[in-house]
Amino acid sequence: MISKWSQRFFQMAELVGSWSKDPSTQVGAVITKNNRIVSVGFNGYPHGISDSADTDDRDMKYLKTLHAEENAILFAKRDLDGCEVWVTHFPCPNCAAKIIQTGISTVHCPEQTEDFLSRWGEKIKISQDMFSQAGVTVDWLPLDSLK
């Protein structure tokens, strides 16, 4: 069983992720320190970039999209050393690098489904290895306790 704070922060990450205009993938991230929210982010285009003209072109969308973790880090505009991040999807290697570089100490995310692992397994392994080498704790949240 996970704590009430874990449930709350994960639910907040889900809510923030729902703000994404991406019709195929909505990802949310919440950065906390001492059970207080420091920053939030969701996947989407940078400020001032039209998010309607190119959304159907997947290649262009991926080039322009900031990931939820990146947005949360950028929006924080402060030192994140020792913070924790709650994400709806396990971070990709690029986001893992940014999490490590900012000093975030713990990543909380749901256990991965077989479907997710079949599509992203190799990138998950790379991110896990990066976190392990850098001493970042990964807290896998049981899916049945997040409902």
Catalytic status, residue 122: no
| SS3 call for 4 | helix
Are the beta carbons of 42 and 118 closer than 8 angstroms? Answer: no
57: number of Cβ within 10 Å: 11
In degrees and rounded to multiples of 5, residue 109 shows phi and psi of -155, 160
Token digits for 126?
A: 């790379």
Which of the following is catalytic: 69, 70, 111, 114? 69
Q: Which residue has the tokens 């990543």?
A: 107
d(CA 112, CA 116): 6
- Any known ligand binding at 109? no
Token digits for 21?
A: 């205009």
Token digits for 66?
A: 């900031």
Binding residues for Zn(2+): 67, 92, 95
Q: Which residues are catalytic?
A: 69
